[in-house]
Structure 1
Amino acid sequence: MSGTDFAEFERSGWARRSGTYDDGFGAMTARLHERLLDAAGVTRGTRVLEVGCGTGRLGAAALARGAVVTATDAVQQMVEVAAEALPGARVLRAELPGLPFGVGEFDAVVGAFVINHVPDPAAAVAELCEAVRPGGRVVLSCWDTLAGNRAQGVFFDAVRAVGVTPPADLPGSSPFARYAAPADFAALLEEAGLREVQVEPVGWTHRVDPARWWQDVLGGTVLTSSLIEGQDAPTVEKIRAAYDDLVGTYRDGDEVALPVAALLALGTRVVAGEDAVEHVTNQEPR
């Protein structure tokens, strides 16, 4: 699948889920928002760009800190939802890469679980690096391995247990998949020109009714839900039965306690001339 086709797959998928994402899957991802803002150094008066704003939860948290927020999303339906949720922010539709901002326009750039949805991660991070001022930070998150991120892993394990064939028009993986490990994620940021790069594993527990979580993932993801909903009805029933068995191992009373695992990456844009100074400092003596 080409980058253009992948971008269209993502846009159309999220457009259909703009009304079902926030209360379920979106609420789970929001557990990382305060840590993202802390890592970016967001306080009162900070000029923040949020990319992939979705329904506006992260932007709302930044506004609550007194930040000056600009929020973007590639999906018009999400932009409309976010605009209602963020009356004090500038909200606009914009692709990543392809943002309409000047060099160094922001003090910080944040993106919660968006880098794994873009067609060209390297170009996207390079653009985010350019949008932040010298000394400002770019902070991004992505999902960790399915072995650790059981909140999503149980779905893929259920599909595998049934032995289904993915729909022919489904992307095999995200273009970001090659970077979805700490060292590779760090290299992606460094190659874009960011310095003082750190990639930290983070985790939490998502407690939820298992039947509700099945609906939340189908209504709040694109690739995972398309993999399941692209099957015929009897196969979906088999996947659901396998999911019920797998998720049952995490039962805690009436709910399940599912481990969630992610990677939090941050980097700082260097001050003009710093790269050259660093290069000279690190040269071997002659």
Structure 2
Amino acid sequence: MEFAEFERSGWARRSGTYDDGFGAMTAGLHDRLLAEAGAAPGLRLLEVGCGTGRLAAAAVRLGAEVVATDAVGPMVLEAARALPGVRVLRAGLPGLPFGAGEFEGAVGAFVINHVPDPVAAVQDLARVVAPGGRVVLSCWDTLAANRAQGVFFDAVTEAGAARPAGLPSSSPFAPYATPERFAGLLETGGLTGVEVHRVGWTHRVAPGDWWRAVLTGTVLTSSLIEGQDAATTGRIRAGYDALVARWAEPDGTVALPVAALVAVGRAVG
């Protein structure tokens, strides 16, 4: 399946189940992203890949004047319901329907790793942000650091599971998923003063809830598991349970390490 269609159709299926599980985990980075974007009263801020609207809602609470976009129609509907009074529209990246310099900042939480053309996406963000305004993007760090997701891939490997047919072989963003290459991507896209930071936090959740959250709130990871037969899925689940036990807490939850890269650059006009 072509990458963009795989992403759009996958996230459309997840629009009603993403927020409470996987979306709650990603929200651990929202305060940092908004601080890097300079979110403050009156700032004209664009969010791309808004999903169900959690980050946009946080920006509104800080007083920013937010426009939120997503490429997936059902996600736009979810966000619009969650963001009364906020302009929410369907728009892909690249291809934003805005004029040059229309915003004073832009932010995208874990969206650059889902676009079909990362360079063109950054160029589009650089275009719609006024000179001096910040563009802030995040992606996941390595699976070795980001154990909240890495345990699933490890469990798939340990179970000897084959990759289901029809999955894209890789994300177009994959070559940029290191601090140096992420910085280079923003610079190639026309931004200046680029910095990339490693950020970590802990996600505390019941193991069974996290299993369900990933299966109902991701596209690629869930597809690796959903495409297996029952026996293989059982081995994957057993491997997952054994792996997350390393981070078990006395209350029955697990404290999973999460890790991301945050890239910040300024538009030059």
1:93 Cα deviation (Å)?
0.5
The match for 1:228 is 225
1:88 Cα deviation (Å)?
2.2
The match for 2:157 is 160
SS at match of 1:252: coil
Larger CA Rg, structure 1 vs 2: 1
Instruction: In structure 2, give the amino acid aligned to 1:170.
Output: L
Moved over 4 A (4+): none
The match for 1:83 is 80
- Counterpart Cα distance in 1 of 2:35 and 2:246: 34
Q: 1:58 aligns with which of 55, 79, 92?
A: 55
* Post-superposition CA distance 1:112-161 (Å, at most 9, x none): 00000001101101100101000101000000000000000000000000
1:44 Cα deviation (Å)?
0.4
Residues 66-145 of structure 1 mapped to structure 2, 5 A cutoff: 66-145=63-142
The match for 1:35 is 32
Indicate yes or no: 2:260 matched with 1:262.
Answer: yes
* Post-superposition CA distance 1:151-198 (Å, at most 9, x none): 000000000001111111011221101000000000000111111100
- Segments of 5+ residues of structure 2 without an aligned counterpart are none
* Post-superposition CA distance 1:229-258 (Å, at most 9, x none): 011111111110111111111111201111
The match for 1:191 is 188
The count of corresponding residues between Structure 1 and Structure 2 is 268
The match for 2:242 is 245
The match for 1:25 is 22
Instruction: In structure 1, give the amino acid aligned to 2:263.
Output: A
TM-score normalised by structure 2 residue count: 0.98
The match for 1:279 is none
Aligned-residue Cα RMSD (Å) equals 0.8
SS at match of 1:203: strand
- The answer to whether the 8 Å contact 1:63/1:88 transfers is no
* Post-superposition CA distance 1:51-94 (Å, at most 9, x none): 00000000000110111111000110000000011112110001
- Counterpart Cα distance in 2 of 1:193 and 1:120: 15
1:227 Cα deviation (Å)?
0.6
TM-score normalised by structure 1 residue count: 0.92
SS at match of 1:197: strand
Instruction: In structure 1, give the amino acid aligned to 2:202.
Output: T
- Segments of 5+ residues of structure 1 without an aligned counterpart are 273-286
- The answer to whether the 8 Å contact 2:122/2:190 transfers is no
